[in-house]
C-alpha cells in the first residue's frame, strides 16, 4: 500500500544557483545518492512532504486492514483464514514501522492519525472500494499488493534513510502476500467450479481500474512530482510505474485465463509495452475527495476504534503511573 | 465409547474452543483500541486457529470417515460443536474481551501443560507447541486484566461489569465430566482437579493484583458446550464462519 498524490507545497523546483548554502549542500548530497538521516539538516518543505507521504503510507496500511477484515471471519478454509490473519497482522506491523519512520521527522503519531480521522490526511484510494466476494481477497493480494510493490521497490532507494529502510522490510512481506493472493485466484480458476471462476472475473472487473489508479494522476497532472523527483523521494514517475505494473501483470492475467475490463488493452510491438485504455480520472478525484463507495465507512470504523478505545489507553497510562509510583516508593 | 472415540471427542473440544476463540478475535480486526493491539489480537487469534487446525487434523485422522479438518470446522452444526460456552460469548467491550481471553488462557495454559506430558505422543507434541504460544497469551491477558482493573475508575468499573457477564460460564473450566475422568485414567489427559485448582489460583492471583474481587465459584449451569448445548451466540457465529463452505459445498478454495 502506499501514498499517491502528495503535496510538496512547492510551486517550482529551484535550480542550484537559487539555493541558500544549506539547501545547496543538501541537494548535492541528494544528487550524490547519500541518504538523509533524521539529524541532518533538510529543507522544511522536504520534511513536510515526507511527513505527508509517510503518514499517508502508514494510514493506508491501517485502513487497508478493513477490506480484508471484512472477509477474515468468513474465509472458506482454515489455511486461507490463517493466511489472511497473518497478512492483516503484517499490515498492522507495516503501519507501525511507517509511523516510527515518520516520527523520526518530528511528527507525532496521534496528531497525524487525528488528521486522518478528520479527513485532512489521505490514504490510498483503493481501500475505498468494497470487498464483495472471496475472490476479492485474492485480487487484493495480487493486484493491490502488486501495485504497492511496484511502487515500494523503487521507494527502497528513496532519499530519506528511515523511509527507505522501512521499505526494504515491508517489500519482503508484501511480495509474499502477493504470491498468496495470486495463488488464491489460481486455485479458484484451475480447480474451482463455474461459480468460483465467475467470482474471480468479477473481482478483477471491479478492482482492475482502482488498482491502476494507485499510481496516482498521470504525469502531466502531477504538479508535485517534479520536486519529489528532484529530492529523490520519488524515483520514477507515476506513468512509468503504472506501465511497468501493467506490463508485468497482463501475462499473469492471461495465465489465470481471465480478462481485464479494458477493450483497448493490447501489446504494442513498437513500444515494447502494453497499450491500455483511459483511466476515469473523475472517479479517481471523487474517491480521493471522500466520495468513493466506502470512504465514509472506512473513516468511521477507524475513528470509532480509536474513540472507543480511549478509556483503554487511559487505563494503560494510569496503571503504568501507579506501577512507577510503587517502584519509586520501594 | 471406545478409547478412540473418547479421544476424538476430546480433540474436538480442544480444537473447537481454540477455533471459536480465534474467530471472535478476528472480529476485532480494524477496531482495536491501539495499533499495537490490532497486531496482538490478530497474533493471538492466528495462534489459536493454527492450534485448532492441529487438533482437528488429528481428530479427522482418527475419525477416518473422509472428513478433514476443514470439513469438521465448516460443516458441523452448533449441536455438534464442542467448544466451551465461555469462548463463544460476544466480544463486548475491551474489558469483556480481555476478561474472556484471560479466563480461557489461564485454563488453556494448565490444560496444555498437562497435555504436553500426555501418554499419546501426538497429543503431547501438539500441546508442547501450543503451550509456548499460550504462555505468551496468558502473560498478555493477565497484564491487561491488571491494567484495566487497576487503571482508571472507568476501566475498573468496566472490569467489574465484565466479570459477572462471563463468570457463570467458568463452571465448565473447573468441573470435569466423565470423559475427562476416563481419559485421565488412561494417562492421556491431566488430572481435572489439578487443572481446576491451578486455574482458580491463577485467577485469584491476577484478580487480586488487579484490585478486582474474586467471585464465588460458579455453580451448575444448564447449558454445556461440551455436550453441544450452546448459548444462542454460537449459531450466528457459525452462520458467518461457515457461509462459503455451505453455499459452495463442491468448491476448492
CA distances from A135 to A75, A80, A144, A201, A256 (A): 10, 12, 13, 9, 13
Of the partner residues B29, B50, B241, the one whose CB lies closest to the CB of residue A69: B29
Closest CA to B122 of B226, B12, B7: B7
pLDDT at residue B229 above 70?
yes
Closest CA to B13 of B98, B111, B103: B111
- Under the banding of pLDDT at 50, 70 and 90, the label for residue B197 is very high
pLDDT at residue B169 above 90?
yes
Whether A73 contacts chain B with CB within 8 A: yes
- A19-70 pLDDT, tens digit per residue, is 889 999 999 999 999 999 999 999 999 999 999 999 999 999 999 999 999 9
Judging contacts by C-beta atoms under 8 Å, the chain A residues touching residue B160 are: none
Distance between CA atoms of B169 and B225, rounded to whole angstroms?
A: 10
Neighbours of B243 (CB within 10 A): 15
pLDDT at A12: 76
Interface list for A 191-220 with B (CB within 8 A): 191-193, 195-196
Helix, strand or coil, per DSSP, at residue A124 = coil
pLDDT at B220: 78
pLDDT at A132: 98
Calculate mean pLDDT across residues B198-202: 97
pLDDT at A2: 60
pLDDT at residue B138 above 60?
yes
Distance between CA atoms of A6 and A233, rounded to whole angstroms?
A: 11
Residue-averaged pLDDT of chain B: 96
A286 bridge partner residues: none
Interface list for B 75-104 with A (CB within 8 A): 93-94
Whether B236 contacts chain A with CB within 8 A: no
Closest CA to B147 of A310, A305, A327, A322: A322
Whether A282 contacts chain B with CB within 8 A: no
pTM beyond 0.90: the answer is yes
The reply to whether residue B151 touches residue A318, judged by beta carbons under 8 angstroms, is yes
Regions of chain A where pLDDT drops below 70: 1-3
pLDDT at A224: 77
Alpha helices in A156-280 (DSSP H): 161-191, 194-213, 225-230, 238-256
Query: What residue of B is the nearest CA neighbor of A91?
Result: B39
pLDDT at B225: 94
Judging contacts by C-beta atoms under 8 Å, the chain A residues touching residue B241 are: 73-74
Interface list for B 28-47 with A (CB within 8 A): 29-39, 42-43, 45-46
Contact criterion met (CB below 8 Å) for B41 and B28:
yes
pLDDT at B82: 98
Whether B21 contacts chain A with CB within 8 A: no
Distance between CA atoms of A137 and A70, rounded to whole angstroms?
A: 10
Interface list for A 156-185 with B (CB within 8 A): 184
Contact criterion met (CB below 8 Å) for B206 and B145:
yes
Amino acid at each position: 500500500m502506499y501514498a499517491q498524490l502528495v503535496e510538496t507545497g512547492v510551486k517550482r523546483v529551484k535550480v542550484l544557483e537559487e539555493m541558500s548554502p544549506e539547501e545547496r549542500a543538501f541537494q548535492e548530497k541528494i544528487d550524490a545518492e547519500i541518504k538523509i538521516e533524521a539529524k541532518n539538516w533538510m529543507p522544511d518543505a522536504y520534511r513536510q512532504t515526507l511527513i505527508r507521504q509517510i503518514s499517508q503510507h502508514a494510514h493506508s496500511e491501517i485502513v487497508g486492514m478493513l477490506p480484508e477484515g471484512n472477509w477474515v471471519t468468513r474465509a472458506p478454509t482454515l489455511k486461507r483464514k490463517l493466511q489472511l490473519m497473518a497478512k492483516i497482522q503484517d499490515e498492522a506491523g507495516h503501519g507501525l514501522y511507517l509511523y516510527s519512520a515518520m516520527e523520526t521527522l518530528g511528527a507525532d503519531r496521534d496528531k497525524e492519525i487525528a488528521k486522518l480521522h478528520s479527513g485532512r490526511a489521505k490514504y490510498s484510494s483503493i481501500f475505498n472500494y468494497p470487498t464483495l466476494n472471496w475472490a476479492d481477497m485474492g485480487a487484493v493480494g495480487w493486484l493491490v499488493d502488486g501495485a504497492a510493490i511496484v511502487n515500494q521497490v523503487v521507494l527502497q532507494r528513496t532519499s530519506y534513510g528511515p523511509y527507505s529502510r522501512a521499505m526494504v522490510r515491508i517489500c519482503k512481506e508484501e511480495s509474499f502476500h502477493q504470491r498468496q493472493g495470486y495463488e488464491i485466484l489460481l486455485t479458484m480458476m484451475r480447480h474451482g467450479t463455474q461459480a468460483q471462476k465467475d467470482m474471480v472475473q468479477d473481482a478483477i472487473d471491479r478492482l482492475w481500474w482502482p488498482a491502476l489508479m494507485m499510481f496516482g494522476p498521470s504525469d502531466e497532472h502531477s504538479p508535485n512530482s517534479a520536486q519529489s523527483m528532484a529530492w529523490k523521494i520519488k524515483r520514477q514517475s507515476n506513468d512509468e510505474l503504472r506501465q511497468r505494473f501493467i506490463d508485468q501483470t497482463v501475462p499473469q492475467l492471461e495465465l489465470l485465463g481471465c480478462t481485464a475490463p479494458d477493450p483497448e488493452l493490447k501489446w504494442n510491438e513498437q513500444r515494447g509495452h502494453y497499450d491500455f485504455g483511459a483511466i476515469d480520472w473523475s472517479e479517481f478525484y471523487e474517491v480521493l475527495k471522500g466520495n468513493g463507495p466506502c470512504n465514509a465507512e472506512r473513516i468511521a470504523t477507524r475513528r470509532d476504534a480509536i474513540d472507543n478505545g480511549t478509556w483503554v489507553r487511559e487505563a494503560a497510562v494510569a496503571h503504568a503511573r501507579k506501577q512507577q509510583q510503587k517502584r519509586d516508593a520501594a | 465409547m471406545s478409547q478412540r472415540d473418547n479421544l476424538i471427542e476430546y480433540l474436538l473440544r480442544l480444537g473447537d474452543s481454540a477455533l471459536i476463540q480465534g474467530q471472535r478475535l478476528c472480529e476485532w480486526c480494524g477496531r482495536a483500541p491501539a495499533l499495537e493491539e490490532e497486531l496482538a489480537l490478530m497474533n493471538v487469534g492466528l495462534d489459536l486457529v493454527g492450534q485448532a487446525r492441529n487438533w482437528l487434523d488429528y481428530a479427522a485422522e482418527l475419525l477416518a470417515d473422509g472428513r478433514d479438518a476443514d470439513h469438521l470446522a465448516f460443516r458441523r452444526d452448533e449441536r455438534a460443536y464442542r467448544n466451551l460456552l465461555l469462548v463463544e460469548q460476544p466480544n463486548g467491550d475491551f474489558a469483556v474481551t480481555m476478561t474472556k481471553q484471560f479466563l480461557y488462557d489461564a485454563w488453556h495454559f494448565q490444560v496444555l501443560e498437562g497435555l504436553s506430558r500426555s501418554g499419546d505422543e501426538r497429543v503431547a507434541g501438539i500441546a508442547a507447541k501450543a503451550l509456548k504460544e499460550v504462555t505468551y497469551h496468558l502473560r498478555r491477558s493477565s497484564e491487561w486484566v491488571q491494567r484495566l482493573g487497576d487503571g482508571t475508575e472507568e476501566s475498573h468499573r468496566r472490569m467489574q461489569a465484565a466479570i459477572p457477564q462471563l463468570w457463570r460460564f467458568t463452571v465448565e473450566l473447573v468441573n470435569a465430566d466423565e470423559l475427562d475422568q476416563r481419559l485421565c485414567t488412561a494417562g492421556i489427559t491431566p488430572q481435572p482437579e489439578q487443572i481446576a485448582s491451578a486455574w482458580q489460583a491463577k485467577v485469584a492471583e491476577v484478580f487480586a493484583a488487579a484490585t478486582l474481587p474474586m467471585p464465588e465459584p460458579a455453580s451448575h449451569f444448564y447449558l454445556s458446550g461440551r455436550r453441544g448445548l450452546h448459548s444462542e451466540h454460537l449459531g450466528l457465529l457459525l452462520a458467518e464462519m461457515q457461509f462459503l463452505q455451505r453455499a459452495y459445498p463442491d468448491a476448492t478454495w
